[in-house]
Amino acid sequence: MHTNLTLLLVTAESSWIYSACIYTFVPLIFYIINGTIIVLAFHNKILKEKKDLRLVLIFSASINIISMVLYGAFAYLWWFCYLTNTYIDIKTTTLTAEIRLFGMGILFISPLILSIWRYCLIVRNWNLSIWKCSIFYFILLTFHTYAFCDKAFISEKIFKNDIFSYSIVYSSPYTIFFFLLTDIIAPIVAIIFLIAILLHIKRHQESVKDIVVSKVHKNIGRQQRIIVYSLIIMSGIPLLGAIPHYLMRIFFIYHYRIPRIGWNITEFIILSVCGSAPLCMVLVLPTIKKAFMEQLGLRTPSSAREEGTTRNKENDLSKNVNIGYRRPTLKMKILK
């Protein structure tokens, strides 16, 4: 269908109200959760000593908030049209809906940027800033930019839509495959980089023979593995929502009718699993979990536990002295 797009006005379709509620209230929950994680991480004394781990956690929570604001922006426009019965230019509604794909792109590309950064630091031993790695954002988001410009300036195709009355679609159905690179392939490549980092850490620890040096490297390796595990969570969790959502978008582009309940389920999955990635880091990774529990007073600080253990040992020693118990003499063993 071809028409003069500047004259076509659309309004909100009432059948989309359940999806609008999902796009409004699910992100609101994770705004609160991820905002709380950022505030706690900034003021956590334990995480201040683990700068890289804190950076990954804060970066993940911040990206989740930004991506969800972009992802849910068109839902706010829908509520405005629905509550006020307002008609808006089709290009405004279509491009606002297209912005949500930028939100998805930012969310799915972020683990790849962080994994490349960690790979360069650990495996290649390049002192590379995370901000320099962010150039890959602009490279990969060019696919989203092209798709956005296609609807804004090139395509004149419109089809009936159950969100707003009509929407502009891509001039070519093959444009949808650009998003395969950012939504599916990018997180998978990130996981491959992270597995390579884990293998490098394991080989490096096995090659160290000196006992004292080995203990130091073991502690460092443990910290690096925790960061890598957090990035694997950040990469893998969004894929649970991205894969079914991407397949449904392909069906939609090729004019297969998908029941609204199917969209509601996939939209709920992609919003909930993507928004929960930082929370999963807190719940799954012991270092972060213990740090937050001590900060919130749900766990005795480690320094206090160590002090209590030392005091108990001193009490046991005094008891042994009082009852005249003699500890066996330890003799040095000469190694030949």
pLDDT tens column, 14-41: 989 998 999 999 999 999 999 999 999 9
Rounded-to-integer distance, Cα 241 and Cα 244, Å = 6
Q: Is the pLDDT of residue 200 over 70?
A: yes
Closest CA to 132 of 111, 116, 150, 109: 116
Rounded-to-integer distance, Cα 207 and Cα 191, Å = 25
Mean pLDDT to the nearest integer, 56-66: 89
Q: What integer best gives the mean pLDDT of the chain? A: 80
Q: Is the pLDDT of residue 172 over 50?
A: yes
pLDDT per position as a tens digit, 123-155: 888 887 777 777 888 888 898 899 999 998 888
pLDDT per position as a tens digit, 173-196: 888 888 888 888 988 999 999 899
Q: pLDDT category, 85, cuts 50, 70, 90?
A: very high
Rounded-to-integer distance, Cα 73 and Cα 249, Å = 19
In angstroms, the first-to-last Cα distance of the chain is 90
Give the homologous superfamily in CATH for domain 5-322: Rhodopsin 7-helix transmembrane proteins (1.20.1070.10)
Q: Determine what percent of the chain is predicted with pLDDT higher than 70.
A: 83
pLDDT per position as a tens digit, 205-216: 777 655 555 555
Q: Is the pLDDT of residue 5 over 70?
A: no
| pLDDT for the residue 208 | 65
Mean pLDDT to the nearest integer, 78-92: 92
Rounded-to-integer distance, Cα 324 and Cα 319, Å = 9
Q: Are 184 and 243 in contact, with CB atoms under 8 Å apart?
A: yes
Q: Is the pLDDT of residue 249 over 90?
A: no
pLDDT per position as a tens digit, 35-45: 999 999 999 98
Q: Is the pLDDT of residue 1 over 70?
A: no
User: What DSSP state is assigned to residue 185?
Assistant: I
Closest CA to 115 of 243, 217, 229: 229
Rounded-to-integer distance, Cα 204 and Cα 214, Å = 10
| pLDDT for the residue 39 | 94
Q: What are the b/e assignments for 20-43, b being 16+ CB within 10 Å?
A: bebbeebbeebbebbeebbebbee
Mean pLDDT to the nearest integer, 248-274: 82
Q: Is the pLDDT of residue 334 over 60?
A: no
Q: Are 231 and 56 in contact, with CB atoms under 8 Å apart?
A: yes
| pLDDT for the residue 210 | 56
Q: Which residue has the higher pLDDT, 304 or 101?
A: 101
Q: Is the pLDDT of residue 100 over 90?
A: no
